[in-house]
Amino acid sequence: MQDVNPIGAAWALDGPLDVVTNTALTRTARADPTGFLRDGRVWRASRHPSGPATLSFWTTGSVLRAEAWGPGAEEALVAVPALTGLTDDPSGFEPSGHWLVHDVARARPGVRLSATGSIFDAAVRAILGQKVTGLQAKRSFQALARRCDDRAPLPVVSRRPLFLPPPPDETLRALAGHGATTLGIDATRAAVLREVANVADHVDALTRGSAQDARAALERIPGLGPWTSNEITVVAMADADAVSVGDYHLKNIVSFALADEPRGTDERMVELLEVFRPHRARAVRLIEVSGVRPPRYGPRMDVPAHVPVPRP
């Protein structure tokens, strides 16, 4: 499959499009086995009804270009405009609600919200991030993807293999017995992953409706609350109004950026973001890419002793 020539597509741009920043939430750091960056191109593996695919996209001048390999290549290309943020509609967003958001929006016009179209894929990453550090969540996802060991159709561009995102059946198999422990996943998160994997077809169908309805449906799944549902819909559906209430860091970042308050609460964060409704996620994304961060007091958050470490 690696020897098959790719199919390609191109889209004219009417302005800047930052595909690297826009797809950052779909990757779990540099060691993500399902995607990587190389020479300004974004590479990612994905699953589609017609089969797996490897996708690469980048911008050159005023054109967005993409190439795809594998049985699902055509569907992967169809998903590119939404995935890169090209089809994101910021109409109605008024960044002048705060000078920082206004200035970043003006300086970074290529920053958009992207939509992967797969709620299950986003759910796996979000659930693994419940009540643990970002590093722990990333390590568990990486270990899970490698455990499933489903290689993507990849041309020779990297020394390391590219793996497809964990599918529901393989996720259940990987969690069976003591599998969750060896992946660094505690019993609570493993239980939620099983719940979602068992209704994967249903949750992926939620993209046909509104993001608000999707969040409500997801929160009816045992163990899946507002933080997780918002983390899912902003990635899978470009949910412009998703706010991750309950996040360990976000409330402080927003409070400091918008009110110069080093520490905040979820209630304070929601209050400060109200002026941007129904585009609160768009404002949060601009705050995040601004690089503004509150001062640190004391040591970083420790790794909880009850959470297992993935086995190499």
Does residue 305 have a pLDDT over 60? no
Residues 272 and 155: beta-carbon distance below 8 Å: no
Residue finishing a domain among 44, 63, 95? 95
Say whether both 67 and 131 belong to one domain.
Answer: no
Average pLDDT, the chain: 92
Residues of the chain above pLDDT 90, percent: 85
Q: What is the CATH number of the domain that holds 55?
A: 3.30.310.20
Does residue 4 have a pLDDT over 80? no
**Confidence (pLDDT) at 28:** 82
Say whether both 133 and 228 belong to one domain.
Answer: yes
pLDDT tens profile 201-233: 999 999 999 999 999 999 999 999 999 999 999
Task: Characterize the bridge pairing of strands 35-38 and 51-60.
Answer: unpaired
* Amino acid identity for residue 138 in this structure: K
Average pLDDT over residues 245-270: 96
Residue 204 lies in a domain: yes
Say whether both 227 and 137 belong to one domain.
Answer: yes
Q: Give residue 303's pLDDT band: very low, low, confident or very high (50, 70, 90).
A: low
Does residue 2 have a pLDDT over 60? no
Residue 107 lies in a domain: no
Residue finishing a domain among 189, 209, 236? 236
Query: Cα–Cα distances in Å, from 203 out to 15, 28, 71, 200?
Result: 34, 22, 24, 5
Judged by average pLDDT, the poorest of 79-88, 263-272, 287-296, 300-309 is 300-309
Residue 277 lies in a domain: no
Does residue 300 have a pLDDT over 70? no
pLDDT tens profile 161-205: 899 999 999 999 999 999 999 999 999 999 999 999 999 999 999
Does residue 296 have a pLDDT over 50? yes
DSSP letter at 136 equals H
Does residue 75 have a pLDDT over 90? yes
Closest CA to 33 of 160, 137, 168: 160
Q: What is the CATH number of the domain that holds 190?
A: 1.10.340.30
Q: Report the chain's terminal Cα–Cα distance, integer Å.
A: 28
Other CB atoms within 10 A of residue 156 CB: 7
Give the helix/strand (H/E) hosting 68: strand 63-69
pLDDT tens profile 23-34: 999 988 778 999
**Confidence (pLDDT) at 31:** 80
User: What's the number of CA atoms in the CB half-sphere (13 Å) around residue 107?
Assistant: 11
Say whether both 51 and 140 belong to one domain.
Answer: no
* Residue 145 DSSP SS3: helix
Say whether both 131 and 57 belong to one domain.
Answer: no
pTM: 0.91
Higher per-residue confidence, 39 vs 3: 39
Average pLDDT over residues 247-271: 97
- Domain enclosing residue 191, as ranges: 119-236
Report how far residue 36's alpha carbon sits from residue 43's, in angstroms, rounded to the nearest whole number. Answer: 5
Query: Cα–Cα distances in Å, from 223 out to 118, 211, 226, 246, 311?
Result: 20, 19, 10, 14, 25
Helix locations, 2-98, DSSP H: 19-22, 73-78, 80-84
pLDDT tens profile 127-164: 999 989 888 999 999 999 999 999 999 777 777 789 99
Residue finishing a domain among 195, 213, 236? 236
Counting the structural domains of the chain, the total is 2
